[in-house]
Structure 1
Amino acid sequence: MNEETFNLSIRKFLKVVGVSSQREIEQAIARAMADGTIAGNEHLPVSVTLELAGVKLQARFEGEIQLE
């Protein structure tokens, strides 16, 4: 295994996930604010599940998105 290639590919994947996830969250919050589903002062639970089928990895990460 080439460690440098491995690490670069992980970083590239995580960058895509991070940027795409942020965009999706921002758009969902904007829609919810516009239609009155949320007021804009919530603390919203959030979770992500990471799956790497080739090595049977499944990991869940939890946190909170604070709007105020």
Structure 2
Amino acid sequence: MNDDTFNMDVRKFLKRVGVTSQREIELAVHDALQAGKLAGNEKFAAKMMLEVPGLNIRHVIEGEIALE
């Protein structure tokens, strides 16, 4: 195993997850605000699941996202 290659691939994957997840959340909030479905002071429960079947990993992270 090449530790440098492994480390870089994990970081690339996590960066892509972070960037695309943030973009999806921002777009959904923006669209809901524009449609009048949100007041702008809500809090939302959030959950992210990481799954790597080949390593038998299933890890869930839960949190909250506040608009104000």
TM-score (norm 2): 0.94
Report the alpha carbon displacement of residue 56 of structure 1 after superposing the two structures with TM: 1.2
Q: Matched residues in 2 for 1:32 and 1:62: separation?
A: 22
SS at match of 2:38: coil
> What value does the CA root-mean-square deviation take over the aligned residues?
0.8
Structure 1: which 5+ runs fail to align? none
Identity among equivalent positions (%) equals 51
What is the CA deviation profile of residues 9-32 of structure 1, one whole-angstrom value per residue up to 9, with x for unaligned ones?
A: 000001111110111000000111
4+ residue runs over 6 A deviation: none
TM-score (norm 1): 0.94
SS at match of 1:46: strand
Q: Matched residues in 2 for 1:38 and 1:45: separation?
A: 15
Match of 2:50 in 1: 50
Structure 2: which 5+ runs fail to align? none
Aligned counterparts, 1:12-31, within 5 A: 12-31=12-31
More divergent stretch after superposition (7-16 vs 30-39): 30-39
